[in-house]
Amino acid sequence: FTLVVLGWSHFYQLLALFCLAIVLYKLTVLLMLKRALIRNFESFPGPPGHWLFGNILEFKQDGNDLDKLVKFGQKYPYCFPLWFGPFVCFLNIHHPEYVKTILASTGPKDDLAYSFIQNWIGNGLLVSQGQKWFRHRRLLTPGFHYDVLKPYVKLMAHSTKTMLDKWESYAKTNKPLEVFEYVSLMTLDTILNCAFSYDSNSVYELSNLINLRFRIFPYHNDLIFYLSPHGFRYRKACMVAHSHTEEVIKKRREALKKEKELERIQAKRNLDFLDILLFAKDENQQGLLDEDIRAEVDTFMFEGHDTTASGISFLLYNLACHPKHQKLCRKEIMQVLHGKDTMDWEDLNKIPYTTMCIKESLRMHPPVPGISRKTTKPITFFDGRTLPAESRIGTSVFGIHRNASIWENPNVFDPLRFLPENISKRPPHAFVPFSAGPRNCIGQNFAMNEMKVVIAMTLLKYELLEEPTLKPKIIPRLVLRSLNGIHIKIKNANQN
């Protein structure tokens, strides 16, 4: 019996030594990684960070984080590194020439930030890379041709009218109106009508959980997140979202079995995004797999509704805060519509001043405040500084749009910045609300059209008023949001 005990004792000692060796090995690897990261970023000065938490403690999630990034940008021209914990570092860039270098490539998105979203939206255009991305981009481009977008304008107008009718009680009572919730439902309704059927609650839940995961460093570990209550909610919401998507694809594929050409469908009804996906064929006459179609459907659902909702909500807020510009927009819209209460396709390009106001709002409050990439090869910037392959780079869209060396009085709302003669004086990459280069937003025309329709119909019906006691506390999530909502007051426009 004593020998057995001694044998087990010896076994446990060996097991303990083995575990200790594994821990020491892991620590050595991490320390080497830390040393390599410090060496890689040594030519890029930035804000000092905590040895364990990095710069995370600088950001309080209180509505001032983006302003803090702008202040860092004033101190560190072009770019600066930010540490998320001890072993993850992003080079945060905020100058057009740096942005040009990054966005000119078709390099992949960062595998950390975007990996959190991949379980939901799959390997669609937002996160795919290489030949798969090229193929999908080519096959999806016809889905955003103006012939397909044209009928969407009436659907956008219908969803907008439904939303504006719900606002009547606020116009009568002078109560503050929180617009983001209403606008988000409206843009989701537009997507449902323009593309396919879907479940809205799961989209909202997934967006929030992905943001939460990125902010909580231990949740970067797949196992820890999987075992957490938030991980359980995430998996449940993914299952609901995917089951809805799969059901829609299955039903539509069945309905289209007898049709061989898109033109025949278009003769009977308006095409939607799902029609384009199901009929897409490459040069070898190969279509998309159901898994790929689901990924693109989920990607379009996320990118097409949440980002546009952010852009429209902040546009309403900015015009409420700047009545002079709002009045000029309303006058222009009334002249173009000649008594109509809705927008048509032909009206979209006849409102230049309103379009400049939309662009200025996108400058001040970009719906996607940042984009991250991971380099596949060494990269040299215009000032001669270099980064090796496998480096993470965060493009601060908010920081570029508020860069005082590019934009005079960047915190002032001034639509005239977007007069053609003023645009020509700025670097092309000074304004990138839809990204730029080969991986720019494929749906930017869809988004701009929707913003024009919504603002035109809103200003026809209501005057927007600032609510100074409820200023938004803006925060970067997957899209730009406000901690306390986006509040304005409204009254009927014909009361003036």
Binding residues for heme: 441
Give the whole-angstrom CA distance, residue 188 versus residue 98: 35
The CA–CA distances, whole Å, from 204 to 169, 363, 381, 434, 438 equal 26, 25, 38, 21, 29
Given a contact cutoff of 8 angstroms between Cβ atoms, the answer to whether 157 and 453 are in contact is yes
In order, the DSSP letters of 345-376 are GGGGGG-HHHHHHHHHHHHHS-SS-EEEEE-S
Give the whole-angstrom CA distance, residue 315 versus residue 485: 14
Give the whole-angstrom CA distance, residue 116 versus residue 129: 16
DSSP class of residue 87 equals S
In order, the DSSP letters of 394-437 are EEEHHHHHT-TTTSSSTTS--GGGGSHHHHTTS-GGG--BTB-G
Give the whole-angstrom CA distance, residue 352 versus residue 332: 9
Q: What are phi and psi of 475, to 5 degrees?
A: -140, 145
Give the whole-angstrom CA distance, residue 302 versus residue 308: 10
Given a contact cutoff of 8 angstroms between Cβ atoms, the answer to whether 43 and 80 are in contact is no
Give the whole-angstrom CA distance, residue 441 versus residue 434: 5
Give the whole-angstrom CA distance, residue 461 versus residue 66: 34
Given a contact cutoff of 8 angstroms between Cβ atoms, the answer to whether 316 and 486 are in contact is yes
- DSSP-based three-state secondary structure for 41: coil
Give the whole-angstrom CA distance, residue 459 versus residue 342: 11
Annotated binding site: 441
Neighbouring C-alpha atoms within 13 Å toward the C-beta of 225: 21
